[in-house]
Structure 1
Amino acid sequence: MVDALVTDAPELPGLDGRKMSKSYGNAIALGMTEDETAAAIRRARTDSDREIAYDPENRPGVAGLLATAALVQGRTPHEVAAEIGAAGSGALKRLTTEAVNEYLRPHRERRAALSSADAAAVLREGNARANAVADHTLDEVRAAMGMVY
């Protein structure tokens, strides 16, 4: 089952067209802010051809940005390229930045809420709930075994 999940998972494109990897320096980390994400996308290498087209072999940087935008928007890279047309790499980078930041916004909000919570209080509350469940379970076990004194 795990093998099926791993083989069915899409290979995420990096900002340079290669597979996304922290070691390649082409990844968008989940912990990045919107500004950090925008800066990473702005640094992505593209080319001087104004017409945006999905061509992973000859235009890997453009293809990587198209694939990233398409992935987070639930579209194909060809659809994104057609939308941008002759607007150039600047428009591609703006669209990709907006799409990625919109996609990651709920994750970032949840992360901010969790990081601002008092960790000790969360642990105390969870511990109290776990102890209550454990106490109830032990009472049931003792009753079933006739060990209630």
Structure 2
Amino acid sequence: MASQIIQTAVPRLFSGIQPTGALHLGNYLGAVQRWVQVVQTGHLAGQHFATPQDRLFSVVDLHALTLPQDPARLRRHILDMTASLLACGLDAERCILFQQSDVSAHAELAWLLSCFCNMPRLSRLTQFREKSAHLTEVPLGLFAYPVLQSADVLLYRTTHVPVGEDNLQNLHITAQITKSWHHRLGPFWPEPQPLVLAGPAARLKSLRQPTKKMSKSDVNPKSCIFLDDTPDQVLTKCRKAVTDSISEVSYDPENRPGVSNLVTIHGALTGLSPTDICQRVQGQDTGQYKLIVAQALNDHLQPIQERKAHLLQHPKHIQQVLDHGAAQAREIAAPNLLALKRILGLKS
């Protein structure tokens, strides 16, 4: 029966995002736009996800607890992140959008899976080492969060996970847990396959240090464009973006990472290729080009900001979206968790 379950698994996608502050441009272009694509078309990276029940997206608030959070601020961030996703075009009627902690099976399955994963394997993960390096006391949740990530994916018998190249290591943990389970108890899950979000837009660079990835945790506030930035803030950040001493605009990520990062942003917003962009701005220096990029950003962000502002005026609607999504997620999760408990001997 279990092997039959694997063979008849339909394509299903799961992805999540932490509610730890405003979306930045890297999140948006690298991940959220891809989510919107699959919701609108049913397709992503050559895979077809036929129904709304096959496209699951979660505001993963339990993951946010791996580091200290102010409760009131976390609650605001959950609603704010949901509003941002909806404003970016994630249609909740064509997918399942929910708050992770509203589906208790995530935490329950994480405990079950933790019994199939060993500590040395978790301790070798790059993200754990980086995040724990400056902590005097490391929370158990931070150490074990890849197991919860595995539960997020396996709970819905997910077949595909959109993932950035820097997060592939965590999905390997899911694959290892799956193999360990199958070895001890027989096959149950399809092994989730990564849909690697590749390309320059999937890894935007810092505006101030263009050899590093754009990150909201950067200490320099001018390094990152947030979707909530005002037009003046966008303009200032673009003007201050580090380029080089060459005035001409060209696309050469290896030798000219700063200006190439601006070209990547411009292209992702307009659909133009780097070659087209460089031809169109021929004769203009990088200072003038920064103003063009800032205008393209503000033109793109304005309708998103307007939709988000409208949504935040109706927090009950945002909560209704999350509640409805959680109910749909629980319908999928419950029979899967029950089947797992029966396999483990917890249920007859």
TM-score for both structures, normalised by structure 2 = 0.32
Aligned equivalent of 1:79 = 276
With over 3 angstroms needed to count, the CA separation of the structure-2 counterparts of 1:52 and 1:123, relative to structure 1, is closer
Inter-partner Cα distance in structure 2 for 1:58 and 1:104: 30
Match of 2:304 in 1: 107
Whether contact under 8 Å (2:311, 2:318) holds in the other structure is no
Root-mean-square deviation (CA, aligned residues, Å) is 2.5
Decide whether the 8 Å contact of 1:53 with 1:85 is kept in 2.
Answer: no
Q: Quick check: 1:66–1:92 contact (8 Å CA) kept in 2?
A: no
Deviation string, structure 1 residues 4-52 (Cα, Å, up to 9, x no partner): 33x1354232235343222345321112122211111111012232221
CA distance change for structure 1 residues 104 and 123 in 2, over 3 Å: closer, same or farther? closer
- Counterparts of 1:38 and 1:123 in 2: how far apart (Å)? 31
More strand by share: 2
Equivalences for residues 41-120 of structure 1 within 5 A: 41-117=238-314, 119=315
Distance change in 2, residues 1:107/1:9 (3 Å):
farther
- Does structure 2 retain, via aligned residues, the 8 Å contact 1:28–1:37? yes
Letter paired with 1:8: L
Post-superposition Cα deviations, 1:53-82, rounded to whole Å, max 9, x if no partner, equal: 111122111111111111111112222122
- Give yes or no for contact 1:41–1:93 (8 Å, CA) kept in 2: yes
Asked if residue 32 in structure 1 is aligned to residue 229 in structure 2, the reply is yes
**CA distance in 2 between partners of 1:71 and 1:55 (Å):** 16
Aligned equivalents of 1:43 and 1:27: distance in 2? Answer: 11
Q: Which residue of 2 aligns with 1:4?
A: 194
Structure with the larger RCO, 1 or 2 (CA within 8 Å, 6+ apart)? 2
Alpha-carbon distance in 2 for matches of 1:70, 1:4: 25
Matched, 1:13 2:211: no
Letter in 2 for 1:20: M
What TM-score, normalized to structure 1? 0.70
Q: 1:43 to 1:66 in 2, by over 3 A?
A: same
Aligned counterpart for 1:22 among listed residues 196, 204, 216: 216
Paired residue for 1:138?
none
What SS does structure 1 have at the residue aligned with 2:194? helix
Three-state SS of the structure 1 residue aligned to 2:226 is: coil
Gaps of 5+ in 1: 131-149
Flag as ranges the 4+ runs of structure 1 deviating above 6 A.
none
The C-alpha deviation readout for 1:64-116, integer Å capped at 9, x for no partner, is: 11111111111122221221123101221011111111122221111111223
Higher helix share: 1
Q: For residues 252 and 232 of structure 2, what CA distance do their matches in structure 1 show?
A: 28
Measured in 1, the distance between the counterparts of 2:224 and 2:261 equals: 11
CA contact (8 A) 1:50 1:86 kept: no
CA contact under 8 A between 2:259 and 2:286: conserved in structure 1?
A: yes
Gapped regions of structure 2 (runs ≥ 5): 1-159, 162-192, 325-348
SS of residue matched to 2:287: helix
Between the aligned partners of 2:198 and 2:307, the Cα distance in structure 1 is 24
Quick check: which has more Rg, 1 or 2? 1
CA distance in 2, matches of 1:72, 1:116: 27
Counterparts of 1:111 and 1:102 in 2: how far apart (Å)? 15
